[in-house]
Amino acid sequence: MNASHSKPKYYLTTPLYYTNGLPHIGHTYSTIVADVIRRYKRMRGFDVVMTTGADEHGVNVERSAKKAGMSPQEFSTAIAAQWKQLWDDLGIPGEEFIRTTDERHHRTVQWLFKRCRDNGFVEKGHYTGQYCIFDNAYVVDAGPGDPCPDCGRPTETVTEENYFFKLSEFQQRLLDFYAANPDFIKPESRRNEVLSFVNGGLRNLSITRTTIRWGIPVPGEAPHVFYVWFDALIGYLSAVGGPDYDQRGLWPADLHIVGKEIIRFHAVYWPAFLMAADLPLPRQIWAHGWLLFDSEKMSKSRGNVVRPRPIVNVLGIEPLRYYLLREIVFGQDGSFSYDALVGRYNSDLANGLGNLASRTLTMIERYFGGEVPKPADARGYGRDVPGSADFASAALTNITQLYERLSFSLALESIWELVGWIDKYITVEKPWTLAEKPEDRDRLANVLYTAAEGLRIVVALAHPVLPQSTQKIWQQLGQAEPLDSVQLDSLSWGQLKPGTKIGKPEAVFPRVEKSETIERIEAMEQEQNKAAAPPATTTAAPAAGSVTAAPAVEASPKIGIEDFAKVEMRVGLVKTAERVAGADKLLQLQVDIGDEVRQIVAGLALAYKPEALVGRKVVVVTNLQPRKLRGVESNGMIVAATGPDGSPVIAGFLEEVPVGARLK
Ligand code: MSP
């Protein structure tokens, strides 16, 4: 019998991400968290399946496609491919990648709708809202006569026929369900939020539209298409069999990981849809907090997004995984900072785990010819150090419980306490001194066995978060069985066999220079943001396994004059220029743009001396969202081309132009 058949199943999901934009590290955070849970559950004996995917329908995608001069299908296919490619490149692909444009998904949505309708939970009604004719979309929260926030044109009051889901009939059933399943919504704060929302009464929900083209057709009811949530949520079920869900035995899902802003849809609408269709409900919904940048939610519309590829290209995926899980308390918001990311890398990975591994392995190689020594005392030397069986077993129980509660930050803190103790133990015992006296040979063997065995337990515990680097150290410890097949429940002190031949000690986390690393990431980020626009049909996916700063666009799509008119460029005069402390490439400029003087931080320092810029006329993009670079606010951008050697060349004028003149 296939071993995996005897294992219990565990099914978890990430949100299905919208294809009107590309991933930033907020999205990456959700997928990384789900991947950590997947790996942890495997080490607890489960046969795990993770679904991620793309939410492709709706007005926003339709609109972005129009802007890119593409059909929604073409556009969305290109973007979905980039999401999928990123997860592949980062080593976090799901077993299933569901696209809401997949045929299997269409079939499932239509099937679920029929079940809800047959059970009497769908009715026809009328929806009235403010509609922007130009953008073909309703404007949420607008009153009669209010302008469209996108194009500024007046909206019109439109009434259309819709299908409604009778959500109001589920208020009591949902409340009973929450009461009977206190762990259904996590964390507690989100559960309270949902309870008070449902207690406040539920209104029926419009689940179709006739004004949108880009959606799943309601069978026999053209021009109705399904609308937003009665489409995307169902993807979790489509991915694992849809109408035939019982064949794979993965439904109901054990866990949906979502961001806090979509908890209501997952914890209210989704169970109600499933109840209406007589289908089993997911076991748990966990809402994490937001990654903030400069105290605001990171999002494309705020222009403050951090992309994952530059970080991964410069530092690697593992430091990013470690940082996100260690630094952010799961369930709460957390601020993203490059400084903390690189700081954590150097202190916890390079100086912490990496250093412990290399000093332990090097000493075993040097003093015992590369073979794990036999300890004279099998329980390890000294009862008050991690090298005791009791100590290790307590740590294992404690850390497993923290993982189980998804308290990643505390789990890592506890694992790194072990790292610290083993390190201290080595420092106190001074094996290099013991090695000088033959009479201390037994003690030396004890110390190095203890350190190596402690290290083995540490890397097994850290494996869900640091899969590649822990596997490397595991192998260096001479362990043949792949670490991901090790079961945490059967891990115990003393399993490291004396005489095991260790591998060549190699640095797993080389130390990096902080400011240089941050500059490299930021420079790559800027390059990528410049390129990150809607995709072109020609978008080439990077080769599997490679992590490159693949620009979002290979060939720029045409834009209309109204798009160009959105960019405000003016002639500026550089008043002062100075270097930004600790950043080799950045200059901080004060630039007169006619009616005000702007502070702008630009990556020009390697190509221009500050004094050479003072008095120079430059082209400034004046209506960009302000952002901070190395803590200094930048309010605008200097236009420059990339010269033949890759360095920036500032755009200028051959004739006289007045300061503040607008470029057209
Ligand atoms: N398509 C819907 C979800 C449908 S699920 C059936 C959607 N997509 S999204 O592309 O906007 O992705 C939202 C998810 O990305 C959030 O729920 C969250 O998991 C993640 N994040 C997006 N921005 C984030 C932060 N700034 N911080 C942390 N996570 C964030 O909503």
Ligand 1 atom closest to residue 18's alpha carbon, by position in its atom list: 10
Ligand 1 pocket, residues with Cβ under 6 angstroms: 15-18, 26-27, 29-30, 55, 232-233, 235, 258-259, 262, 290-291, 297-298
Structure tokens at 360: 């332990």
| Signed CA dihedral, 530, 533, 539, 543: sign only | positive
d(C-alpha 327, C-alpha 305), whole Å:
18
List average pLDDT for each run of 10 residues in the chain, which is 664 residues long: 71 97 95 98 98 94 90 96 96 97 98 98 92 76 82 84 96 98 98 97 94 93 93 98 97 98 97 98 98 80 85 96 97 95 97 97 97 77 56 90 98 96 92 96 92 95 98 97 96 94 92 94 82 42 28 45 83 93 86 93 88 92 83 88 75 87 90
Structure tokens at 509: 């986390």
237 C-alpha to center of ligand 1: Å? 19
d(C-alpha 80, C-alpha 63), whole Å:
16
138 φ/ψ angles, rounded to the nearest 5 degrees:
-75, 150
- pLDDT of 534 reads 45
Tell me which amino acid residue 321 is.
Answer: R
CB 528 within 8 A of CB 552: yes
425 contacts: CB under 8 Å, gap ≥ 6: 382, 385, 386, 387, 447, 450, 451, 454
Q: What is the DSSP string of 358-395?
A: HHHHHHHHHHHTTBPPPPSSTT-S-TTSTTSHHHHHHH
Q: Which residues pair with 297 in a beta bridge?
A: 292
CB 113 within 8 A of CB 166: no
CA angle 36, 481, 5 (to 5 degrees): 65
Ligand 1: residue whose CA is nearest its atom 6: 233
Helices (H), 548-656: 561-564, 610-613
- Strands annotated E in 436-568: none
CB 494 within 8 A of CB 388: no
Helix crossing, 441-462 with 408-429: angle to 10°?
Answer: 170
CB 63 within 8 A of CB 19: no
d(C-alpha 222, C-alpha 215), whole Å:
11
325 C-alpha to center of ligand 1: Å? 17
Ligand 1: residue whose CA is nearest its atom 23: 26
87 C-alpha to center of ligand 1: Å? 15
| Eight-state DSSP code of residue 283 | S
23 C-alpha to center of ligand 1: Å? 10
Q: pTM of the prediction?
A: 0.80
226 C-alpha to center of ligand 1: Å? 20
The dihedral region occupied by 624, where left means phi > 0, alpha psi between -120 and 50, and beta the remainder, is beta
Structure tokens at 27: 């999205």
Structure tokens at 635: 């309010």
Which of 25, 27, 335 best tests ligand 1's pocket when mutated (most atoms within 8 Å of CB)? 27
Residue in 11, 39, 14, 13 with CA at minimum distance from that of residue 29: 14
Q: Output the CA–CA distances (angstroms, integers) from residue 532 to 80, 537, 551, 556, 644, in the order listed.
A: 15, 14, 6, 10, 22
262 C-alpha to center of ligand 1: Å? 8
29 C-alpha to center of ligand 1: Å? 10
Tracing tokens 């951090």 back to the chain, one arrives at 306
Ligand 1: residue whose CA is nearest its atom 16: 259
Ligand 1 atom closest to residue 289's alpha carbon, by position in its atom list: 28
CB 276 within 8 A of CB 170: yes
Instruction: Give the 3-state DSSP-derived string for 293-334, with helices as H, strands as E and coil as C.
Output: ECCEECCCCCCCCCCHHHHHHHCCHHHHHHHHHHHCCCCCCE
Ligand 1 atom closest to residue 291's alpha carbon, by position in its atom list: 27
- pLDDT of 558 reads 63
647 C-alpha to center of ligand 1: Å? 36
Q: How many residues comprise the chain? A: 664
204 φ/ψ angles, rounded to the nearest 5 degrees:
-60, 155
26 C-alpha to center of ligand 1: Å? 7
Helix crossing, 72-89 with 59-67: angle to 10°?
Answer: 100
Ligand 1: residue whose CA is nearest its atom 8: 17
Structure tokens at 655: 């004739």
Which of 14, 29, 265 best tests ligand 1's pocket when mutated (most atoms within 8 Å of CB)? 29
d(C-alpha 647, C-alpha 530), whole Å:
15
Which of 14, 22, 30 best tests ligand 1's pocket when mutated (most atoms within 8 Å of CB)? 30
333 C-alpha to center of ligand 1: Å? 14
CB 532 within 8 A of CB 307: yes
102 C-alpha to center of ligand 1: Å? 20
- pLDDT of 582 reads 77
- pLDDT of 645 reads 65
Ligand 1 atom closest to residue 232's alpha carbon, by position in its atom list: 6
